Amino acid sequence: MIATESLSKRFPRVTALDRLSLDIGPGVTGLVGANGAGKSTMIKILLGLSPATEGRAEVLGLDVATSGGAIRERVGYMPEHDCLPADVSATEFVVHMARMSGLPPTAARERTADTLRHVGLYEERYRPIGGYSTGMKQRVKLAQALVHDPKLVLLDEPTNGLDPVGRDEMLGLIRRVWTDFGISVLVTSHLLGELERTCDHVVVIDGGRLLRSSSTSDFTQATATLAIEVTDTDAHPDGTKALREALTAAGVALHAGEEEGLPGAGHILLLDAEGEETYDIVRDTVAELGLGLVRMEQRRHRIAEVFRAEAPADAERPADTHRPADAGRPAQEVQSR
Amino acid sequence: MNHDNRTPAHAPLPAPSAPLGTKAPAPGQLPAQGGGEQTRIHNIGYRSYDGPRLGRAYARRSLFAQSLKGAYGLGRSAKSKVLPMIIFAVMCIPALVMVAVAVTTKLNDLPVEYTRYAIIMQAVIGLFLAGQAPQSVSRDLRFRTVPLYFSRPVERVDYVVAKFGAMATALFILTASPLLILYIGSLLAKMDFSDQTAGLAQGLVSVALLSVLFGGIGLVLAAFTPRRGFGVAAVIAVLTISVGAVTTLQGIAWATDNLGAIEWLGLFSPITLIDGVQTAFLGATSSFPNESGPGAGPGAVYLLTVLALIAGSYAVLMRRYRRVGL
C-alpha cells in the first residue's frame, strides 16, 4: 500500500521527516507520534502535495513525485481540522466532493447515499451540517473520504474532539472500513491506547524518525492483566486486603507491584488473567467475601510501554518531555480516555 | 485486499445464491437460500465502485458549473436565491422598459448605447459582485474546505480557474442579458440590423472585459476576507470609493479646466477603466466629464492596465491558495 525509502523532509528550521523507511501493507495501520512528530507532513507527501527533500515514496505502487494526481484519485483523506461548510446538507456536500473526485453525477449521488448510510447518518443527512454534533461531523468527514471508493484512506486524528462513546464508535467504524469495505486505512493518532484495538499494524514515529514498526499483536502481548477494585464492608474493613488473601489462597498469581501515583492505587489489585476461569474465580471470590466489585477491567500491555522501553535508547530526548499525554501518565489515564 | 470479489456498484442485484462480495457481510446480509425473487436483500452491505473516474478536467468543469449556479443561488437555499435574482431582474427591467418604449413609439435608435448600459448600471453590478464573490470563495476558506479539494485530483490551478471563470461568467450573464434584450427589441422595432448587430458586438466585448476584470477584483478581495460580511463590505468599498474618488477628481479637473487630467484619472477605478477602453476601441461615447475619454494612445494604456489587473488577480489568487492548501 505504502512504501517509503529514506524519506526526508526538511524545512529551513526543522526536520519533519528524517530518512524514514516504511513498508505498509493492506489493513489498518496506525501512525503514532506526538504533535509535531511528522505525521501530517507524511500525509502531505503521500498525497503528492509536498515534495520530499530526499528519498522516495510510493502509494498503491505509484510514485508520489510523479503520479500525485493518480494517487489522489484512488486515495481518500480526512483532515484533522474542521472542513465542513455549515450551510449545506451532508448529502449535498458529499455529492459535490464525490464529483470533485471524478465520479459522474449519478454515481456521485448513489455513492453518497450508500456511504452516508455506512457511516451511520440517516435522516439528518438532509439538514445543514452546521447543526450537527461533533460525532456526526466526524462521520461526514469520513464519508467524504470514502465516497469515491478509494483503495486507501488517510485519516488524520479521526477521534479528535470526540467523547469516549464517540471515540469507540469512530474506532469501530474505522475497523469496518477495512473488514467490511476492504479499504486499507492509515490512521494517525497521538493516543496509543486507541490504536491497539483498531489497528493490525502500528508505526511509531518520533521527531521524524521511525521508532518502531510492527504488528499490533507484537506490541500487546496475549496475556491480559486484570485490574480489580472492590469496596470495603463491615465484615472486611479492608476489602482489598481480604480479596488479595482469598485470591492467593485460590492460587491466582497477583502482581507484586501496584500502580503508583494514582489516587486509590493501593486499592487496585493487578493479576494475570490466564483464561476465562480466572474471571470466574475472581467473581466467585468477591461474591463469597460479600464485597462490592467496583471495577474489573483488562489492562493489556499497552503500546505506551514501548515508549518507556525504547526511550532510554533514545538518549538525547527522554520520552516524557515530548510525549506527556501518554508516557508521562500511568496506564489508567490512557485506558479510561 | 481483494477488490475483484466485490460487487460493482452498478451491477444489478446479485442473484440470491451469488457471492455478495464483501468480505464480512453486514448484519442484514444473509445469503438467501433458494428463496427466489421474493427474498429481496435490502442491506446489501458495502458496494465497491468500478465505474468511470472522470478525472481532473471533469472535476474542474463540475466545480465551474457548481460555482456558476451558486452565484445565482441555484442549488443553494431559497434565501440565497433572493438577492441574485432580484439583482438580475433590476438589471434587465430598464432594458425591457426601453424596448417597450422603442417599439411602441417606433424610435429609430435605442435610447441607450449598448456600451453605455453597464456603465449606467455599475452600482447594480457591484452589488451582485459584492454578494456573490465572497459566497464563492470565502466559504471554502472559512470552513477550511479547500484542503479537501486539493486532496483530490483537482489542483490549485483548476480551483482558481474554475472559480475565476465561474464568477466572470456569472457577471457576463448579468451584463449581457440586458444587451440581448435591447438587441431583440431593436430588431422588433425594425431598427437598422447592421448598426444594431455591430453595437451589440461592441457591447458584448465590453461587458466580457468588464466581467473578467470585476470578477478578478471581487475574488481577490473575497479571498483575503474569510468572513463573508467583511468580503461584501470590502468589495463594495473598493468599487464605490475608487469610482467616487475618480469622478470627483475628474469633476475638479474639469472645473479647473484641466482637461488633460481627466483622461488619465480614469485609470484608477475599474468601471472608468472599462469606460476608457470602450471609448478608445469600441466606439463608445465616454461618460467622463466633457466626454473627454482617452484616444487610441492613452486607450492602449487603459487596455494594458485592464489586462494587467486581470493577470494580477489570477496570480494573487494562485499565491493565496498556495498558502491555504492542506
The DSSP line for B108-125 is SS-SS-HHHHHHHTHHHH
Q: Which of A42, A25, A17 is nearest to A215 (CA)?
A: A25
Subunit contact A26:B1, Cβ cutoff 8 A: yes
Cα four-point dihedral sign B109, B110, B115, B119: positive
- What pLDDT is recorded for position A149? 96
- What pLDDT is recorded for position B155? 92
- What pLDDT is recorded for position A197? 77
What's the grid cell of residue B297? 494612445
- What pLDDT is recorded for position A218? 66
The ipTM value here is: 0.81
Q: Tell me if B243 sits within 8 A of B267, measured CB to CB.
A: no
Helix axes B156-188, B193-223, angle to 10 degrees: 150
Cα distance between residue A5 and residue A65, in whole Å = 13
pTM: 0.78
Give A97's contacts in chain B (Cβ within 8 Å). 148, 152
Cα distance between residue B102 and residue B192, in whole Å = 13
Q: Which of B199, B134, B175 is nearest to B271 (CA)?
A: B175
Comparing CB atoms, the residue among A72, A88, A151 nearest residue B152 is A72
The least confident of A192-196, A223-227, B116-120, B145-149 is A223-227
Q: Which of A73, A100, A137, A180 should be substituted to probe chain B, the one whose Cβ sees the most B Cβ atoms within 10 Å?
A: A100
- What pLDDT is recorded for position B231? 92
Calculate mean pLDDT across residues B148-163: 95
Calculate mean pLDDT across residues A207-233: 75
pLDDT at B99 over 50: yes
- What pLDDT is recorded for position B42? 54
- What pLDDT is recorded for position A331? 37
Subunit contact A97:B6, Cβ cutoff 8 A: no
Band (pLDDT 50/70/90 cuts) for residue B24 is very low
One-letter amino acid of B204: L
- What pLDDT is recorded for position A272? 74
pLDDT at B31 over 50: no
Calculate mean pLDDT across residues B22-42: 46
Residue B196, CB half-sphere, CA atoms under 13 Å: how many?
A: 19
Cα distance between residue A168 and residue B34, in whole Å = 38
Quote helix, strand, coil % in chain A, to nearest 5. Answer: 40, 25, 35
Residue A47, chain B, CB below 8 Å: the answer is yes
- What pLDDT is recorded for position B293? 84
Residue A179, chain B, CB below 8 Å: the answer is yes
Mean pLDDT of chain A: 82
- What pLDDT is recorded for position A193? 74
Most confident of the following: A297-311, B14-28, B215-229: B215-229
Subunit contact B56:A69, Cβ cutoff 8 A: yes
Cβ neighbours for A270, distance < 8 A, ≥ 6 positions apart: A225, A226, A227, A228, A254, A255, A257, A258, A259, A299
Quick check: helix, strand or coil at residue B191?
coil
- What pLDDT is recorded for position A281? 85
Comparing CB atoms, the residue among B9, B53, B326 nearest residue A44 is B326
Residue A204, CB half-sphere, CA atoms under 13 Å: how many?
A: 21
> Residue for cell digits 467616487?
B244
Residue A111, chain B, CB below 8 Å: the answer is yes
What's the grid cell of residue A326? 501518554
- What pLDDT is recorded for position A317? 40
- What pLDDT is recorded for position B117? 95
What's the grid cell of residue B289? 466629464
- What pLDDT is recorded for position A27? 93
What are the residues facing A2 on neighbouring strands? Answer: A24, A59
pLDDT at B36 over 90: no
Give B66's contacts in chain A (Cβ within 8 Å). 96, 99
- What pLDDT is recorded for position A250? 81
- What pLDDT is recorded for position A35? 79
Give A102's contacts in chain B (Cβ within 8 Å). 52-56, 58-59, 152-153
Most confident of the following: A223-232, A278-287, B122-131: B122-131
Calculate mean pLDDT across residues B32-59: 73
Residue A97, chain B, CB below 8 Å: the answer is yes
Model confidence over A243-260: pLDDT tens digits?
A: 888 888 887 777 755 544
pLDDT at A177 over 50: yes
Band (pLDDT 50/70/90 cuts) for residue A180 is very high
Give A75's contacts in chain B (Cβ within 8 Å). 151
Cα distance between residue B28 and residue A308, in whole Å = 45
Backbone angles phi, psi at B145, to 5 degrees: -85, -20
The least confident of A33-47, A221-235, B42-56, B94-108 is A221-235
Cβ neighbours for A324, distance < 8 A, ≥ 6 positions apart: none
Give A127's contacts in chain B (Cβ within 8 Å). none
Q: Tell me if B128 sits within 8 A of B295, measured CB to CB.
A: no
Model confidence over B258-299: pLDDT tens digits?
A: 888 888 999 999 999 999 999 999 988 888 888 888 888 899
Model confidence over B248-265: pLDDT tens digits?
A: 999 999 999 888 888 899
Band (pLDDT 50/70/90 cuts) for residue B54 is very high
Calculate mean pLDDT across residues A5-9: 92
Q: Which of B3, B28, B27, B29 is nearest to B18 (CA)?
A: B29
pLDDT at B18 over 90: no
Cβ neighbours for B61, distance < 8 A, ≥ 6 positions apart: B162
The C-alpha of B34 sits at a distance from chain A's nearest C-alpha, in angstroms, of 25
Give A180's contacts in chain B (Cβ within 8 Å). 22-24, 26, 45-46
Subunit contact A182:B144, Cβ cutoff 8 A: no
- Of all residues in chain B, the percent with pLDDT exceeding 70 is 86
- What pLDDT is recorded for position B65? 96
Mean pLDDT of chain B: 86
- What pLDDT is recorded for position B4? 44
What's the grid cell of residue A159? 477521534
Subunit contact B145:A96, Cβ cutoff 8 A: no
Comparing CB atoms, the residue among B46, B66, B151 nearest residue A118 is B46
Calculate mean pLDDT across residues A12-39: 89
Residue A109, chain B, CB below 8 Å: the answer is no
- What pLDDT is recorded for position A92? 94
